[in-house]
Amino acid sequence: MLTTLPDYRHAVALDEPFRPLSAPAGDPGELAGLVLGMLGAGRALPGGVDDRSLLRAVLTVRGATAFDPGLMAALDAVLGGERRVDADALTLPGPMAVWRGDIVRLRADAIVNAANDAMLGCFQPMHGCVDNAIHNAAGPRLRADCWRIMDLQGTPEPTGTAKITRGYHLPTRFVLHTVGPIVHGEPGPAHAAALADSYRACLDLAAEVAAIRTVAFCGISTGIFGFPKRPAARIALGTVRDWLTARPGRFDRVVFVAFTAEDEAAYEELL
């Protein structure tokens, strides 16, 4: 049975502000080495790979198991030191805006993660998907929250639905996780309907959380899931515009994050 927000809101402490643990002072690179030592991680990557890249790979394949508080404090120092903000959603023009950049460096109340149906993140080290990028920047508490939600649900996440967690070390308070359609070849009507469902599900869920006034979307399904970028942008803009028209004033701004020039051109052309 599909879990809804009331089913897991308390389990993931959604409404509690994130407070990192007190951490030892030190250079981020040295702290990454310290965390690797505490994890007992050997070198599984080619020579020349720095400690931070190795730590990222180790965390990518690590399950949603608990961390020792001392280790977590050191990891909080590493992740907190890497947090960067390139733009603030509230400074962008219009109720719907396009911003080109890295979604993990955009300050918004909530960002959207394009997840797979296991909803636990990407387990492939160094993989370039947005799922991996968001989990890497947020830290392992994000995977732990996703595991709690999926454990309660007991089944994979259906396409076109959404879940919400805190954002931890991201410059966003919340992350909306949705599973978009997988496309092989040209998308059909069912793919288009499922993609629109994902956008609506994220907005519907965000609307249940009073603290969310700005939402930033990645290009759902336009990476390894294969949905062509221009048709996906058309569906995204149309779905969000219809949602906002039906609920005026609920959000201050919805941002479409373009990671490449091709993504940006697809949105700008339609806007």
pLDDT digits 0-9 by tens, 125-163: 989 999 999 999 999 999 999 999 999 999 999 999 999
Give the confidence band of 51 by pLDDT, cuts at 50, 70, 90.
confident
pLDDT score, position 190: 97
Give the mean pLDDT of the chain: 93
Q: pLDDT value at position 212?
A: 98
Q: Give the mean model confidence (pLDDT) for residues 43-69.
A: 82
Query: How does residue 24 score in pLDDT terms, banded at 50, 70 and 90?
Result: low
Cα–Cα dist 184/155, whole Å:
24
User: Tokens in use for 35?
Assistant: 């965390």
- Res. 23 pLDDT band, cuts 50 70 90: low
Q: What is the pTM of this model?
A: 0.94
Q: Is the dihedral of CA 147, 148, 154, 155 positive or negative?
A: negative
State which CATH number among 3.40.220.10, 3.30.70.3460, 3.10.105.10, 2.70.70.10 fits the domain covering 5-15+85-270: 3.40.220.10
pLDDT-derived band at 43 (thresholds 50, 70, 90) equals low
pLDDT of res. 122? 95
pLDDT of residue 47: 58
Q: Which of 35-39, 77-81, 198-202 has the lowest mean pLDDT?
A: 35-39
The pLDDT tens digits of the residues spanning 197-239 come to 999 999 999 999 999 999 999 999 998 898 999 999 999 999 9
Q: How much is the pLDDT for 39? A: 85
Segments making up each domain of the chain, as ranges: 5-15+85-270, 28-81
